[in-house]
Structure 1
C-alpha cells in the first residue's frame, strides 16, 4: 500500500516537525524571535513519533526529515533520530538545522542513524549572516559543516534564501565556495507567509533568474529520485558541489509533490501552505490505533489540492515558516 492522492501523486517523504521553537531570528521567518503561542499541548513524544513514522513507513514512505523550529533544541533529539532510523522501511533520515550545535553533535547524530543533513546558511559574510539571522554564530555554523564531513556525511546540503538588497549579490561567492566542496547548495526562493507580506514584496528574488544564470554557465539538470525533495538539482563538470533550486512560484512546482507534513503537536498537513490541519494525536497513543491512523491519513489525501496556489497570493494558515516545519 502507498499513500496516494487524487492526482496519482505518491508520498514517499514525511516532513516531521518536533518543535516550533527556534533560537535564531531570521528576517524571513521569525524576525522578532520565537513567541510561545499559548497552546497547552506539548510537542510529540518519542513514542508518538515512533507510531506516526511507523504508519507512514508501512504505506511507502522511505524518507523522513526531522524539522522545527530548530530540532536540535530538543534534549531528546538524538533519541528521536534513533527512533526514526529504526523503523522498518525508512532508508533516509534527514534533518534541517541552523547548525549552531552541529560542531559538537555531528558524530553523535550520525551514530544515531542520521543519513542526511541540511544546514541553513544565508550569507558567507559574517556581518550579513548576523543581520539576516539575528545571531552572531557564523563561525560556529561553518565549524559545524566541517564537523559533519569529519563525522562521515558524504554530502552536506546548505539552504540559502537569496533576497534582493540583502544577500543576492553573493551568488558568485556561493558558487566559488562549492567548487571544491561536496556541498549541495540549495537556493530557496523567498515564500510569502501570513506575517511577512511586506517583507516578501520588498526582498523577493525570483529563482528563475538564478536558474538562467546556471544554464548560461554550463550547469546541467540532474534526474530526480522518487523520494527527493522539491529541488531542481544542477551539476557542473568543474565543480565538486551541486546547486539545488527550490522555486515554489514555478507553474508546475506541485506536480511532483511527494511529501506530507506532521506538525510538532501531531497535526497532519497536506501542504506547507494549506488552510487546515488534521489532528492525529489521539491515534498516536498506542500501537492498536495504527490501522485507524493509516485510514485517517489516506482519507485526508482525497482533500489534497492540486497546487498550493502561492502564485495567486494565497498563503493558507501558515503565519511563518517555523510554524509547521517549513
Structure 2
C-alpha cells in the first residue's frame, strides 16, 4: 500500500490512538471539573476494531503508535491492547501518554507486553503545586512509577510539563536539577487554547520560545529530529544525562513537519488536534474485508488536511478539551 500522504507532501508515520476519553485526574488546563459521565455508557473501540485500524495504518507506512486518552490505563484490557498493537507487522514503537497513577504497579507488565516508550505528565516537582494543578494528591505515587519504569528497562522516560504562568513557570531550575543524572527527556508544552478553556489560556499562557532561547544561551544544543518523532524541538547538554524537549504550537511553521494522525476512542479520524470535526471510521472497522475501503477513506480524508492549525488566528476548532481526542 502507498504511504499515507497529504496534499503538502507530509507523510504520516505516527498514529495517536485514543483508548478512552475518561480520566481520573482533574488537571486545570484540561478537565478542571473532572470527567463528566455521559448519560449513556460510551462505547469505546474494541480490541478487534483497534486491530483493524492499526493494521490499516501500518500497511500504509505508520511505524509508531501512541496510546492516549483520557487516561489510557483506565482500560482494564490495556495490557492486551499493548500486546495487540506491538504484534502488528510494521509497528516498531508502541508508546503511551499517562498520568502515571498505575505506573509503579504495572510498568513491568506493560514492558513485557511490548510497550517501548512512556510519556508521563508531571506538571510540578512540588507536591502541593502538583496537587493544585492536577486536582489529585498523587505526586509520590507518580514519581515512584517513573522510578519503577526506569528500573524495569524503559531506557528513556519522557515527562510532559505544561507551562503555566503563575503556577509552575518559575520551577525551571528544579526541573533541570532533576534530570542532571536521570535519562529523562523533560518536555515543556506550551499551553494550547481549546474551546472551553479560553479564560484559562489568557491567564496562564507562557511562550515556550523565551525559555527555549534562554537555555540555548546556557549551553544546550539542538538535536536532529527523526522522521517518527513528534513535534518537540529537543535540546541536549554535555553535563546532563537528561534532555529537554519543547512543544511550541504557536511557533512559525510548527505544522510543516506534521507526521501524525489521530483516531479517537469512538473511531473518528482527526486530521488535526484543532480541526473542525472527525471523519467516521467505525462502520469500516467491523470486518477484516473492509480494510481496503478503510484505507481509501483515510487517504481521501487526507486530501482535506489543512496546511496549518490556525491557532495564530485564535481559531481552536471544535476540540472542547485535550482529553476528548487524545491530546
Partner of 2:48: 47
Give runs of aligned pairs for residues 1-326 of structure 1, distance below 5 A.
1-38=2-39, 41-326=42-327
Q: Give the distance between the partners of 2:41 and 2:130, measured in 1 at CA.
A: 34
Which consecutive aligned stretches of 4+ in structure 1 deviate over 2 angstroms post-superposition? 36-41
Deviation per residue, 1:127-174 (Å, 9 max, x gap):
000000000000000000000001100100000011110000001110
Deviation per residue, 1:178-237 (Å, 9 max, x gap):
010000000000000000000000000101011011111000110011010000000001
SS at match of 1:276: coil
Give the C-alpha shift of residue 40 in structure 1: 5.7
TM-score w.r.t. structure 1 length? 0.99
Q: Give the distance between the partners of 1:37 and 1:121, measured in 2 at CA.
A: 28
Q: Give the distance between the partners of 1:255 and 1:36, measured in 2 at CA.
A: 37
Give the C-alpha shift of residue 41 in structure 1: 4.8
Q: Give the distance between the partners of 1:298 and 1:12, measured in 2 at CA.
A: 14
Give the C-alpha shift of residue 38 in structure 1: 3.8
**Superposition RMSD in Å:** 0.7
Deviates more, 1:36-45 or 1:57-66: 36-45
Residue ranges of structure 2 left out of the alignment (5+ in a row):
none
SS at match of 2:119: strand
Q: Give the distance between the partners of 2:312 and 2:276, measured in 1 at CA.
A: 16
Deviation per residue, 1:239-277 (Å, 9 max, x gap):
000000000000110000000000000000000000010
Q: Give the distance between the partners of 2:229 and 2:323, measured in 1 at CA.
A: 21
Residue ranges of structure 1 left out of the alignment (5+ in a row):
none
Give the C-alpha shift of residue 36 in structure 1: 2.4
TM-score w.r.t. structure 2 length? 0.99
SS at match of 1:168: coil
Q: Give the distance between the partners of 2:202 and 2:112, measured in 1 at CA.
A: 43
Give the C-alpha shift of residue 37 in structure 1: 3.8
